[in-house]
Amino acid sequence: MGRRRLAREIALQALYVADVSRMPAPEAFAIVTRREGDEADAETLGFARELALGAALHVEKLDSTISKLAANWSMTRMAAVDRNVLRLAAHELESRPDTPVGVIIDEAIEIVRKYSTEEATRFVNGILDSLKKRRDAKPRKKKNVREKDA
């Protein structure tokens, strides 16, 4: 398994633990990484931490966005794994414009396929496709280019 996939799975596990046990995300992350620490290097754990704690920090905004796209599905009706994969991927779509959208969505689908049901893959894919369209519609910031002195 690749390092980025491992990081996303660790982040999902931390979000899941925080969600179902109602514990703070940093504490949940510490619990999950105590177990995963032997398998993951520092860079992988750093990326996992960034994703998990970032998603947890913005959970209300993420849930609001996801709820608007999930017609007739409240966040509480979704399976805990599915809702946390959606939070994780939605956060990554927002916070990591350097990561290709297709990679984020494919990774989320593979993680759902591993930890949830085949039906959930279609549901998650539909929501993430809608999020992708929103990201594609946002204007990109142009990088500042210094003008050379004459």
What's 129's domain CATH number? Answer: 1.10.940.10
Q: Which of 75, 50, 48, 49 is nearest to 60 (CA)?
A: 75
Q: What is the pTM of this model?
A: 0.86
Q: Which secondary structure element, helix H or strand E, spans residue 11, and what is its range? A: helix 3-21
Asked, for residue 142, whether it belongs to a domain, the answer is no
Asked, for residue 150, whether it belongs to a domain, the answer is no
| Rg for the chain, CA atoms, rounded | 16
Q: CA-CA distance, 83 to 16, in Å (whole number)?
A: 9
Checking if the pLDDT of 137 tops 50, the result is: yes
Asked, for residue 94, whether it belongs to a domain, the answer is yes
Q: Which secondary structure element, helix H or strand E, spans residue 117, and what is its range? A: none
Asked, for residue 7, whether it belongs to a domain, the answer is yes
Q: CA-CA distance, 147 to 141, in Å (whole number)?
A: 18
Measure the CA angle with vertex 59, ends 56 and 60; round to 5°: 150
Q: CA-CA distance, 124 to 104, in Å (whole number)?
A: 12
Mean of the per-residue pLDDT values of the chain:
88
Asked, for residue 72, whether it belongs to a domain, the answer is yes
Q: CA-CA distance, 70 to 68, in Å (whole number)?
A: 6
Q: CA-CA distance, 75 to 63, in Å (whole number)?
A: 7
Asked, for residue 147, whether it belongs to a domain, the answer is no
Q: CA-CA distance, 52 to 46, in Å (whole number)?
A: 10
| Percentage of the residues of the chain whose pLDDT score is greater than 70 | 85
CB atoms within 10 A of CB 142: 6
Tell me how many domains the chain contains: 1
What pLDDT was estimated at residue 73? 84
What pLDDT was estimated at residue 136? 64
Asked, for residue 69, whether it belongs to a domain, the answer is yes
